[in-house]
Amino acid sequence: MEKERTKKEDTLEKRLVNLHPKFLETIKEVYPLAVLGSLCIAIAGFTAQTYPDAQTYAITAASLFLIAFAISFLFKIMPHYYFALISYISTALAAAFLFLVVVAFVQAIPMVSKSVSTIQDAASAFVISMWGYFVYRLRKKPKSNVIRLCCTISIPLILIGIMYYVVSMLAKFIGISLPDFTLDIFLASMFGATVLALTMIILTEYTDRKKKKNLSK
């Protein structure tokens, strides 16, 4: 009897020792959710007196992240679709409430509002830059003088659009507003660049088809 007990104890001890690395690996896979929950708790602590709305959203997000952490850990041990579904829903809701924390900061802190608004300006400037690069690449392909002329005119107009967003971002941080005529210049330049770019695309397509027809003959 004593030998059997000793074997059982040894077996249990070995199992616990062998399972411990897997236990740590499981925690390692799901711990980012716990980190996000801890971050939200820290945000709630710092905003307790100054930004009560942000604190409420942060506490809710922390609770949901911690629920997702616990359920995800349980899912790693006992895989079941129900646990996965709860984890997905909790994480999605937590992310939504974390976004509401940002919204609360945007509404309460002017500098945060300026910083967030510049993201849209930076994205617009990037899109216009890609547009300018596309027009430049289109210019290098054809030998038509008309297409090259359209490109020569459209690139400066695109540069005006990029400069508008750059100056707009700087003006927001400084705290000044741009004159109304700058918007009119921007819209006029973008309209002209769009018309010229479409003209280039149409002429390029027409030129390519004409070349194909000549080669086929």
Q: pLDDT tens across 162-207, in order?
A: 898 888 888 877 777 778 788 888 888 888 888 888 887 777 777 7
User: What is the arithmetic mean of pLDDT over 133-142?
Assistant: 71
Residue 148 CB-density burial (10 A; 0-12 exposed, 13-18 middle, 19+ buried): middle
pLDDT in tens, 23-40: 777 777 788 888 888 888
User: What is the arithmetic mean of pLDDT over 154-163?
Assistant: 87
Position 90 scores a pLDDT of 92
Cα angle value 104/108/111 (rounded, 5°): 110
Extents of the domains making up the chain:
2-108, 111-216
User: What is the arithmetic mean of pLDDT over 94-101?
Assistant: 91
Position 213 scores a pLDDT of 65
Sign of the torsion formed by the C-alpha atoms of 3, 4, 9 and 13: positive
Position 5 scores a pLDDT of 53
pLDDT in tens, 40-91: 888 888 887 788 888 889 999 999 999 998 888 888 888 888 888 988 999 9
Mean residue pLDDT across the chain: 80
Position 95 scores a pLDDT of 92
Alpha carbon distance 123, 48 (integer Å): 34
Position 104 scores a pLDDT of 87
Alpha carbon distance 91, 111 (integer Å): 29
Alpha carbon distance 93, 166 (integer Å): 35
Position 77 scores a pLDDT of 80
From residue 181, give the alpha-carbon distance in Å to each of 19, 173, 177, 186: 70, 20, 12, 9
User: What is the arithmetic mean of pLDDT over 124-128?
Assistant: 87
pTM, whole model, 2 decimals? Answer: 0.62
Closest by Cα among 112, 95, 117, 116 to 51: 112
Position 153 scores a pLDDT of 83
